[in-house]
Structure 1
Amino acid sequence: MIIDKPIEELLLDVNSINLESSERVDDQHTVHAGNISLVDDKNYVFSEIKSVAEPHPLSCVDGGNAPIMNYGTLVIELNKVINVDCPVQGESTRLGPFKFLSLTYTVNDSVNTKLYHTEAGLAFSPRQLEPKELRGQSQTYVLAGRARRVMELLFAAHIISIRKPRVLLLDGSLGHTFDRAEINALDTLLETALNSGVTLTALTKVSSILYRGEPITHHVNRLAKRIGLKHFYTMVGTARRGGNHTETQLYVVRLNSLAKKPYLLEVYNSGDSDAVARLMYTLAFNSNNIALPGYPQGLALADRYARVTAEEANTVKTVLNKHREIPLISEAYAHDLLDYW
């Protein structure tokens, strides 16, 4: 194919790039990158994941969103949140997915978000998020996903309050944008986990944390291979999260010897080293599905159920399309006229 040569050249360049990062190393062998402090790799302590006790039951929370209408500074989205419970024995069960619509728009240097739903399972949800001020900031703030990000955090806090899981796992990290609504939701989740004695964890599929110019997960994996480890965890740093600068721990984990890659795991309220070892065994126990070794099955199921399908999005879009008497809708859907040409 004519595209083959350009792709080969592109791949060569990608493989040769040594990305710059904001990291710097001080005399205490600590690497600083924003609110993240990374341990120098000379101080890594690798632990093999072993069967140390019966694993904990696991609750997994995820969310999804899809734009229904995007008109520059106004976005309408269909969103979902879901919880999947994974017992030690037996089949997983789920709460949700719960659907809600969101309207996010910019006016007077402020990002506003309103939520719309009739789901009893979302009775805890606010109807409007705290505005995000844009004065003195970039006007290119990404509107899409704001409602879903905040609701994932609030839904996770809700699950902890009503179900008291021993371990709750989120998709992604506990990092946040500079958005007061998101920071407040994260603070609520962290406080709820601490007060309920719940270990809060978050697994990042694609980590943006670099160490010496390469993704930290790959850097750690190379070191682990040198000492013959395929099923391991090691703490690589700490992070400060939320408005209260709550400290969390960062680990690189390979949850199955057949896993294609390791992942970055963020942990809060884990307890002592024995508790951490049991936590890692809990996650590994849930990651032994031969179809997806090394990735928690509960999180994979949550991802599947949280996705907004094209059919669901088009159903809402069709309803909105009937209201072309509203100028913004008429403009946003003007391109659709070509579908009937």
Structure 2
Amino acid sequence: MQDSTKTSHPLEELYEILGEDLEDCTSDGLLISENEDPIPLTNDSFKEIKESGASRKIAFVDGGDGILEEAPNFLININRIYFSMFSGKKRISPSTIKSRIEFFSSVVTKILKEDSKITVTYKTKLFPYDDQDRKLLPDEIDLESTTEGATILEKGRINSLSRRFAEWSFAKKIVEEELGEGDIIVKDGALQTGFKNETRYAKELYDIAMKKGVIVCGLAKASRIIELDCAEPIIAKVQQFSNKFNLGKWYFEVGNLPGDDMGFNLITKFHQNSNHVFRFEILTEQYNKMTEAERNDVLESFANNSKDMAIIGYPYGFIDADRFAQVRMNELGMYKGLLISQMAKHPEWKKLRSHSSSTKFHDKLNRVTS
């Protein structure tokens, strides 16, 4: 018989049960692949980022996007890509290309019927402010994607597609025109690819970077990767062990992850007084050819850019890039107003509004009941 006098809050019970459900498992290794031995978590596994006076030129690339209008059969987005360059704390101005590009994109759903098979195709078109910016953007045909039947491609993937491809193509242009041997380009996020044709854009960046001697890196602010022994988050486990050894700035080699990941993965801490630890990648082909001193120079260059008190231990170049790449909510409201004013000028606007209304009722209900 259940106790009807229960007084504890359900969240208290949830938290208690969650603590029991999370496996209390201890191991002194990091199991990344069932086909490989665990990586030892010992003092010798952590490499100190040493002071050597290195402050290489780093180009930080980030992007942002926001939905202006959507329906099950179309999507209108604003996309923004930005880069900044630093050597240590010193900002370096671009010499030939603009630091930010902004463009709109539309994705339209088309149905293709062949025999008894139905395929849903998503066709993307790009609309930059300046037509000269088209040379910095991906080709529209490469953004086309398909699903079978009436299944709609996940919105989160569709609305980020144009931005993701533009980040690769813009990064390639930055390497071509702004960087030289020994310089670094770093993308916000991992070096993984997840869309059809995206691997080709990544490879074009890697090829020109290796030809010019520019180091390609990726830094992920968050990671959902778990190790396969105790199901612990990799970053949390490595950080926990690093605290035992009283280390300052350091990096820990994880290596290549299963899948199409092109980067050699590290766990890094860029400032001794920071609590922030990141997943950091260097293009594997480049990392394997580096001496330990060269690896240290690359990582120390990031450490020398990670001393700003706003978020100590996080490269300031990415704080700056996020500020100028992010599409804020108040901006979305402004652009939505401009879009509505443009739609009202065209005879098709009623059809577009009727299509988008099929996804809007929940938002309207929230405004009424909130």
Fold in common (TM above 0.5): yes
* Secondary structure of 1:31 counterpart: coil
* Contact 2:58/2:186 (<8 A) preserved: yes
Matching residue within 219, 222, 225 for 1:206: 222
* Contact 1:132/1:181 (<8 A) preserved: no
* Structure 2 counterpart of 1:110, one-letter code: T
2:338 paired with 1:319? yes
| CA distance in 1 between partners of 2:85 and 2:186 (Å) | 10
* Contact 1:61/1:84 (<8 A) preserved: yes
* Contact 1:37/1:239 (<8 A) preserved: no
Cα gap change, 1:7 to 1:149, in 2 (>3 Å):
farther
* Structure 2 counterpart of 1:321, one-letter code: I
Bigger Cα displacement from structure 2, 327-336 vs 258-267: 327-336
Task: Give the aligned partner of residue 233 of structure 1.
Answer: 251
Matching residue within 121, 124, 128 for 2:136: 124
* Contact 2:33/2:258 (<8 A) preserved: no
* Contact 1:75/1:105 (<8 A) preserved: yes
Residues 23-81 of structure 1: per-residue CA shift (max 9 Å, x gap): xxxxxx96328xx9895235872111111232211110000000001212421110100
1:216-255 alignment runs, 5 A limit: 216-239=234-257, 247-255=262-270
Aligned-residue CA RMSD (Å): 3.0
Query: Greater helix percent: which structure?
Result: 2
| Unaligned ranges ≥5, structure 2 | 1-7, 24-29, 112-119
Task: Give the aligned partner of residue 273 of structure 1.
Answer: 292
| 1:300 positional shift | 1.1
2:213 paired with 1:193? no
| CA distance in 2 between partners of 1:258 and 1:127 (Å) | 45
Residues 188-241 of structure 1: per-residue CA shift (max 9 Å, x gap): 222222122111111111111111311111110111112221321011121477
Matching residue within 95, 103, 107 for 2:106: 103
* Contact 1:81/1:98 (<8 A) preserved: yes
Task: Give the aligned partner of residue 116 of structure 2.
Answer: none
| CA distance in 1 between partners of 2:38 and 2:202 (Å) | 25
Bigger Cα displacement from structure 2, 165-174 vs 114-123: 114-123
* Secondary structure of 1:235 counterpart: strand
| 1:93 positional shift | 4.1
| CA distance in 2 between partners of 1:107 and 1:38 (Å) | 48
* Secondary structure of 1:99 counterpart: strand
TM-score by length of 2: 0.77
2:186 paired with 1:169? yes
Residues 142-161 of structure 1: per-residue CA shift (max 9 Å, x gap): 31111111111111111111
Cα gap change, 1:264 to 1:12, in 2 (>3 Å):
farther
* Structure 2 counterpart of 1:329, one-letter code: R
| 1:124 positional shift | 2.7
* Structure 2 counterpart of 1:288, one-letter code: K
| CA distance in 1 between partners of 2:37 and 2:222 (Å) | 17
* Secondary structure of 2:90 counterpart: coil
* Contact 1:57/1:86 (<8 A) preserved: yes
| CA distance in 1 between partners of 2:206 and 2:14 (Å) | 42
1:39-188 alignment runs, 5 A limit: 40-42=39-41, 45-88=45-88, 90-93=90-93, 95-108=98-111, 109-119=120-130, 120-130=132-142, 131-135=144-148, 139-142=152-155, 143-165=158-180, 166-177=183-194, 179-188=195-204
* Structure 2 counterpart of 1:65, one-letter code: D
| CA distance in 1 between partners of 2:212 and 2:177 (Å) | 10
Task: Give the aligned partner of residue 114 of structure 2.
Answer: none
* Contact 1:102/1:115 (<8 A) preserved: yes
Based on CA coordinates, which of the two structures has the bigger radius of gyration?
2
Task: Give the aligned partner of residue 24 of structure 1.
Answer: none
The percent of aligned pairs where both chains have the same amino acid is: 22
Task: Give the aligned partner of residue 31 of structure 1.
Answer: 32
Cα gap change, 1:312 to 1:272, in 2 (>3 Å):
same
| CA distance in 2 between partners of 1:199 and 1:38 (Å) | 29
Cα gap change, 1:137 to 1:298, in 2 (>3 Å):
farther
* Contact 1:104/1:114 (<8 A) preserved: yes
Cα gap change, 1:75 to 1:5, in 2 (>3 Å):
farther
* Contact 1:224/1:230 (<8 A) preserved: no
| 1:106 positional shift | 2.8
| CA distance in 2 between partners of 1:290 and 1:210 (Å) | 30
* Contact 2:72/2:356 (<8 A) preserved: no
| CA distance in 2 between partners of 1:52 and 1:259 (Å) | 20
